[in-house]
Amino acid sequence: MEAPAANPAPIGATWSSGVIARRAPAPERTPLDAAAPGGGPSLSPRPVADGLDAIIISDLHLGCDSCQAKLLLALLECLLAGTIRTGRLIINGDGFDSFDFRRLKKNHWKVLSVIRRLSDKMEVIWTSGNHDGPAEIISHLLGVQVREEFILTSGPRRVLVLHGDIFDDFIDQHPLVTWVGDAIYNMLQRVDRRHHIARLAKSRSKLFLHCAAKVRQRAIQHARRRGCQSVICGHTHQVAADIRGPIAYFNSGCWTELPPTYLTVRGGTVTVCRFQASPSVTSWRPKG
């Protein structure tokens, strides 16, 4: 992979990220430069020596055939064992594909079991997604805090975390088209188990790109109103990192495609990472 190019954006973020093995250390991170001022109280991460402020995953879609549960288990077990050290795990919506627990497979139940164990060890936040069920059931089942949105204070920055479906009015206005699009996307994932075709179809779909851009624009506007300098969404299944404006936008991607992606936050730096069972570490810059 090509090394990331320098970005002249005002907030000066870098794009280092890694391919994390089951027992590999977290990728290197470079702090953001200048920090924009922010106001109002927010929660700070629990102090973890030489660790991360938070790890953010989204769109697990447990119960879906394309859920990469084995790789997800590998990441969560790294957190449980302390191989990757963090003060918080944030599940940024759509942890479930639907609230029909009969669709959950053995590895999906294992994921829920590890999340429950992690909630006894660290703070686990679950932000509501459009596929998730009632917050009370999730909280009782997993022992996690369920929020509509969450503001994380990391170093000098306020980072807003929310799923992002509230900014996507297309799914409400065109439910049939949304259903058909989801069905085609799921079919492409089954046809090509490496998911190259599904990713290519998304990148060529003007409708999808328009909806993803709308989520990004509205999320940035919302973060500005909330006095935050960065905003992190899920929902679109498209990993993204955009620091061209005064408010940085990140998307944690999903765990229904290969390679699955997630974000780390430390000292105000948001880093995009991908997870696969490989000992190699590469630099990788997402588009957008």
| Residue bearing the bigger pLDDT, 278 or 231 | 231
For residues 111-126, average pLDDT: 96
Q: CB of 286 within 8 A of CB of 5? A: no
pLDDT in tens, 71-115: 999 999 999 999 999 999 999 999 998 878 899 999 999 999 999
Note the pLDDT of residue 21.
Answer: 31
The strand pair at 248-251 and 240-242 is best described as: antiparallel
Q: Is 206 exposed, middle or buried (0-12, 13-18, 19+ CB in 10 A)?
A: exposed
User: Rounded CA gap, 25 and 28, in Å?
Assistant: 9
3-state secondary structure of 79: helix
**What is the C-alpha end-to-end distance of the chain, expressed in Å?**
17
pTM for the model: 0.74
With bands split at pLDDT 50, 70 and 90, how would you rate the model's confidence at 19? very low
Q: Which domains does the chain have, with CATH numbers?
A: 19-24+44-275 (3.60.21.10)
Q: Following DSSP, what letter does each residue of 148-203 receive, concatenated?
A: S-EEEEETTEEEEE---GGG-THHHH-HHHHHHHHHHHHHHHHH-TT-HHHHHHHH
Note the pLDDT of residue 136.
Answer: 82
For residues 125-143, average pLDDT: 87
Looking at every residue in the chain, the average pLDDT score rounds to 76
3-state secondary structure of 141: helix
79 φ, ψ to 5°? -70, -40
DSSP state of 6: P
Asked whether residue 134 carries a pLDDT value surpassing 70, the answer given is yes
Cis peptide before 259 (omega within 30 of 0): yes
Note the pLDDT of residue 177.
Answer: 56
> Which range among 27-36, 80-89, 242-251 shows the weakest confidence by mean pLDDT?
27-36
| Neighbouring-strand partners of residue 256 | none
For residues 253-262, average pLDDT: 93
Note the pLDDT of residue 221.
Answer: 97
> Which range among 17-26, 77-86, 149-158 shows the weakest confidence by mean pLDDT?
17-26
